[in-house]
């Protein structure tokens, strides 16, 4: 059974977003990492890049498959998690601690379309 | 010698030779004219071995090969049928071996005749007007086909059409080829049944769509029953229909892509028409088109006039996609295959491959989860074990099959399911082989319940068991030098 944490917002494409003031941290869910299997590579955007809700912003590659990363919210990338580039396997160890990018939110209403932990639990099984 | 694992370099003994070269007849090298950076200053690092060392080494390595000629190879979406030996016999004939691509058309009339006749046969089989045999592989054919699609719109001065629709169940090469060709991809979601969602398609269509790429039967082995309507929708929006010939085997001699409304298609000769599966090539990916697209076919085309075959260079063509006219010895084998079967037997290929896949599907339904009910075509897709409570995954099942001497089916593809197992037996397998395979699959399902730990460690009888896939992907050791560096 995959972990689903309270306090995070969830997208159908199995990314999470965590709000912190005008910023959002974005990562993939525990369910996503379990389905992917061992992650060997992450491809992240540059700082300053614009990401769009529902659009691809990077990719994650595992021993099984390569998957697009879909942004749950729109905004500007202010930081990327450099640690993941050398050590992507930490995503498998703790997907909720392994944020991928930090985004300055351009449209706070984007969060209204995302799921609560309760709702996501029904999908992540 | 099953566990033989030496590298040829490790057999090297200083001073040992396995050859003797004739005396060099050239004494005067103009080395001084060469830039000194181009000159080698030390001996190349080659293994020093005897002829017998070399023979034993490669013979032992060859015993580790697994192919259709050693055992059952049910790799889904790859059509691993047996390639009849008559193909090889004909391809090895001296008359074909001594042909040179620079010979003039008048000297190679026989070769051009085969080109011309094969493209006509493929056109007949697929319901299209003409084929080019020039592309070197299926993916190359896809790119060529899309270039034709692009050229068609450009020559009509319809510059807005920059997008190509691809269903989410498509083979990865479809969006890749379209992207390389400069198109933007619109991915549309499939229905619950794994087929094209007409509503999604309607939403995606516009005057910016150049066309749609589709495989039928699709990647789940399901026939797109709405194909006529799909074609009509795309055509009404001004787009063209592209057929990925990956799954043509199921339809051979029964249904023609041209009749379903497709305008352009490529054929993977190595799948459907029994030419060798690469290992990197040489391959062949003929591209066929409807009459109105014939002018755009790549140059040169082979034409016939008054009993004489000649190369035609067309001004409206997309240009050349290959040196000369493709991999002759590959499409020669396809020609032999088609003539060997004949028109009346070709349709049995589709019938038997479909029958075999359905036989496997029905017999495994109790033990493996079938996400999409109903008839499949030439392949069937399961979503892992029916009982997954022991934690045994599709990967474990695939690994365990190796212990029983079967090649694993395709796993974790298509991506629509989490535990995909995709089985394509092909028409060349007998009922006995299928029964053996089914019995083993059932046994493995049983083992998964009773001894999951053993399954997690499978295979147990192969020279190497589980490999560290993460390490292999992150730390690639591709040359002997890298290997030495790593092991010093």
Share of chain B above pLDDT 70, in %: 99
- Does B467 touch chain A if contact means CB atoms closer than 8 Å? no
Domain with residue A63: its CATH number is 2.40.50.100
* pLDDT for B488 beyond 90: no
Q: Choose from B1-5, B205-209, B411-415 the range with maximum mean pLDDT.
A: B205-209
Averaged pLDDT for residues B178-201: 94
Q: Which of A38, A61, A65 has its CB closest to that of B412?
A: A65
* pLDDT for B31 beyond 80: no
Structure confidence by residue, pLDDT tens digits, B17-27: 888 889 988 87
What is the pLDDT of chain A when averaged over all its residues?
A: 93
How confident is the model at residue B391, as a pLDDT? 92
CA nearest to A92 within chain B: B470
DSSP state of B228: H
CA distance A98 to chain B (A): 18
For strands B240-244 and B264-266, give the pairing.
parallel
* pLDDT for B28 beyond 80: no
pLDDT band at B39 (very low <50, low <70, confident <90, very high): confident
| Cα-Cα-Cα-Cα dihedral sign, residues B162, B163, B164, B169 | positive
* pLDDT for B281 beyond 80: no
CA–CA gap between residue B29 and residue B20 (Å, rounded): 21
Averaged pLDDT for residues B416-421: 89
CA–CA gap between residue B60 and residue B78 (Å, rounded): 27
CA nearest to B475 within chain A: A40
With CB atoms and an 8 Å threshold, state whether B415 touches A65: yes
Report if residue A61 sits inside a domain: yes
Structure confidence by residue, pLDDT tens digits, B113-146: 999 999 999 999 999 999 999 999 999 999 999 9
Q: Which of A35, A40, A65 has its CB closest to that of B470?
A: A40
With CB atoms and an 8 Å threshold, state whether B474 touches A35: no
Contact B140, B188 (CB under 8 A): no
pLDDT band at B279 (very low <50, low <70, confident <90, very high): low
* pLDDT for B29 beyond 80: no
Helix, strand, coil shares of chain A, percent, nearest 5, are: 25, 35, 40
How confident is the model at residue B401, as a pLDDT? 97
Share of chain B above pLDDT 90, in %: 77
3-state secondary structure of B66: coil
**Residue owning tokens 């479909």:** B354
3-state secondary structure of A51: strand
- Does A97 touch chain B if contact means CB atoms closer than 8 Å? no
* pLDDT for B1 beyond 80: no
**Beta-bridge mates of residue B50:** none
- Does B189 touch chain A if contact means CB atoms closer than 8 Å? no
With CB atoms and an 8 Å threshold, state whether A38 touches B470: yes
Phi, psi angles (nearest 5°) of residue B4: -55, 125
CA distance A124 to chain B (A): 12
CA distance A89 to chain B (A): 9
Query: Using a CB-CB distance cutoff of 8 angstroms, which residues of chain A are in contact with residue B418?
Result: 35
Report if residue A14 sits inside a domain: yes
Q: Greater confidence, B474 or A54?
A: A54
Report if residue A43 sits inside a domain: yes
Query: Using a CB-CB distance cutoff of 8 angstroms, which residues of chain A are in contact with residue B412?
Result: 64-65
Residue B197 CB neighbours (<10 A): 18
CA distance A4 to chain B (A): 19
Total count of domains within chain A? 1
* pLDDT for B414 beyond 70: yes
How confident is the model at residue B89, as a pLDDT? 96
How confident is the model at residue B172, as a pLDDT? 87
CB-defined contacts A:B, below 8 A = 20
Q: Which of A35, A63, A65 has its CB closest to that of B470?
A: A63
How confident is the model at residue B100, as a pLDDT? 93
pLDDT band at B72 (very low <50, low <70, confident <90, very high): very high
Q: Which of A35, A65, A89 has its CB closest to that of B470?
A: A89
Structure confidence by residue, pLDDT tens digits, A34-55: 988 899 999 999 999 999 999 9
Q: Which of A35, A63, A65 has its CB closest to that of B473?
A: A63
Query: Using a CB-CB distance cutoff of 8 angstroms, which residues of chain B are in contact with residue A35?
Result: 418
What is the pLDDT of chain B when averaged over all its residues?
A: 93
**Beta-bridge mates of residue B312:** B301
How confident is the model at residue B280, as a pLDDT? 59
Q: What does the DSSP assignment read for B320-370?
A: BSSSTTS-HHHHHHHHHHHHHHHHHHHHHHHHHHHHHHHHHHHHHTTTB--
Q: Quick one: tokens of B20?
A: 């003797």
Return the minimum-mean-pLDDT range out of A60-69, B177-186, B310-319. Answer: A60-69
- Does A41 touch chain B if contact means CB atoms closer than 8 Å? yes
* pLDDT for B278 beyond 80: no
CA nearest to B415 within chain A: A65
Q: Which of A35, A38, A61 has its CB closest to that of B418?
A: A35
CA distance A20 to chain B (A): 33
Contact B158, B238 (CB under 8 A): yes
pLDDT band at B470 (very low <50, low <70, confident <90, very high): confident
CA nearest to A86 within chain B: B474
Structure confidence by residue, pLDDT tens digits, A70-122: 999 999 999 999 999 889 999 999 999 999 999 999 999 999 999 999 999 99
CA nearest to B412 within chain A: A64
Report if residue A125 sits inside a domain: no
With CB atoms and an 8 Å threshold, state whether A40 touches B473: yes
For chain B, domains (ranges, CATH) are 85-341 (3.40.640.10), 344-472 (3.90.1150.10)
Residues 6+ apart with CB under 8 A from B426: B79, B80, B81, B82, B249, B353, B356, B378
Query: Using a CB-CB distance cutoff of 8 angstroms, which residues of chain A are in contact with residue B383?
Result: none
CA–CA gap between residue B238 and residue B153 (Å, rounded): 9
- Does B474 touch chain A if contact means CB atoms closer than 8 Å? yes
CA nearest to B391 within chain A: A1
- Does A92 touch chain B if contact means CB atoms closer than 8 Å? no
CA–CA gap between residue B456 and residue B373 (Å, rounded): 29
Nearest C-alpha neighbor of B288 from the set B301, B306, B277, B305: B301
Report if residue A79 sits inside a domain: yes
With CB atoms and an 8 Å threshold, state whether B474 touches A40: yes
* pLDDT for B60 beyond 90: yes
Domain that holds residue A67: 9-115
CA–CA gap between residue A23 and residue A17 (Å, rounded): 10
Phi, psi angles (nearest 5°) of residue B410: -70, 135
Range 375-404 of B in CB contact (< 8 A) with A: 395
Report if residue A2 sits inside a domain: no
Most distant pair of Cα atoms in chain B: their distance: 77
How confident is the model at residue B5, as a pLDDT? 86
């Amino acid at each position: 059974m995959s972990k689903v944490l309270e306090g995070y917002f969830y997208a159908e494409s199995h990314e999470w977003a965590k709000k912190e003031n005008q910023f959002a941290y974005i990562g993939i869910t525990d369910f996503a990492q379990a389905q992917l299997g061992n992650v060997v590579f992450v491809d992240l955007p540059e700082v300053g890049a614009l990401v769009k809700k529902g659009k691809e912003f990077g990719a994650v590659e595992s021993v099984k498959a390569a998957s697009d990363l879909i942004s749950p919210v729109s905004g500007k990338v202010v930081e990327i998690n450099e640690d993941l580039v050398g050590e992507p396997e930490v995503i498998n160890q703790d997907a909720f601690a392994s944020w991928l990018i930090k985004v300055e939110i351009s449209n706070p209403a984007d969060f209204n379309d995302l799921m609560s932990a309760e709702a996501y639990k029904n999908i992540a099984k | 010698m099953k566990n033989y694992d030496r590298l040829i370099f490790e057999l090297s003994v200083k001073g040992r030779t396995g050859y003797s070269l004739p005396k060099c007849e050239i004494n005067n090298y103009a080395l001084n004219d060469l830039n000194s950076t181009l000159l080698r200053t030390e001996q190349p690092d080659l293994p020093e071995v005897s002829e017998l060392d070399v023979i034993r080494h490669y013979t032992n390595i060859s015993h580790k090969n697994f192919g259709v000629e050693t055992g059952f190879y049910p790799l889904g979406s790859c059509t691993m049928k047996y390639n009849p030996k008559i193909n090889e016999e004909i391809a090895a004939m001296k008359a074909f071996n001594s042909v040179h691509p620079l010979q003039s058309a008048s000297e190679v009339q026989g070769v051009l005749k085969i080109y011309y006749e094969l493209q006509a046969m493929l056109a007949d089989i697929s319901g299209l007007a003409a084929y080019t045999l020039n592309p070197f592989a299926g993916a190359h054919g896809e790119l060529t086909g899309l270039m034709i699609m692009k050229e068609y719109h450009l020559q009509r001065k319809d510059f807005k059409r920059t997008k190509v629709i691809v269903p989410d169940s498509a083979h990865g090469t479809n969006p890749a080829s379209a992207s390389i060709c400069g198109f933007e991809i619109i991915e549309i979601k499939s229905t619950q049944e794994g087929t094209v969602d007409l509503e999604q398609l309607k939403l995606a269509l516009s005057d910016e769509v150049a066309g749609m790429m589709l495989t039928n039967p699709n990647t789940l082995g399901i026939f797109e029953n709405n194909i006529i309507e799909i074609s009509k929708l795309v055509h009404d929006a001004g787009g063209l229909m592209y057929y990925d010939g990956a799954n043509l085997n199921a339809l051979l001699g029964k249904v023609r892509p041209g009749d379903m409304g497709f305008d352009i298609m490529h054929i993977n000769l190595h799948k459907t028409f029994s030419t060798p599966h690469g290992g990197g090539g040489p391959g062949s990916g003929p591209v066929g088109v409807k009459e109105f697209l014939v002018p755009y076919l790549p140059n040169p085309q082979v034409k016939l006039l008054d009993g004489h075959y000649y190369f035609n260079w067309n001004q409206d063509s997309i240009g050349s996609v290959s040196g000369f006219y493709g991999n002759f010895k590959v499409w020669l084998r396809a020609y032999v295959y088609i003539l060997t079967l004949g028109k009346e037997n070709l349709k049995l290929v589709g019938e038997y491959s479909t029958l075999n896949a359905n036989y496997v599907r029905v017999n495994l339904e109790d033990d493996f989860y079938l996400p999409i009910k109903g008839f499949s075509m030439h392949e069937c897709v399961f979503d892992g074990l029916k009982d997954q409570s022991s934690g045994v995954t599709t990967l474990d099942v695939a690994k365990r099959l190796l212990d029983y001497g079967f090649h694993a089916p395709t796993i974790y593809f298509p991506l629509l399911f989490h535990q995909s197992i995709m089985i394509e037996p092909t028409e060349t397998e007998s009922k006995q082989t299928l029964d053996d395979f089914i019995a083993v699959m059932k046994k493995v399902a049983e083992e998964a319940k009773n001894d999951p730990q053993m399954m997690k460690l499978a295979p147990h009888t192969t020279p190497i068991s589980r490999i560290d896939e993460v390490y292999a992907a992150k730390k690639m050791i591709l040359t002997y030098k890298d290997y030495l560096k790593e092991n010093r």
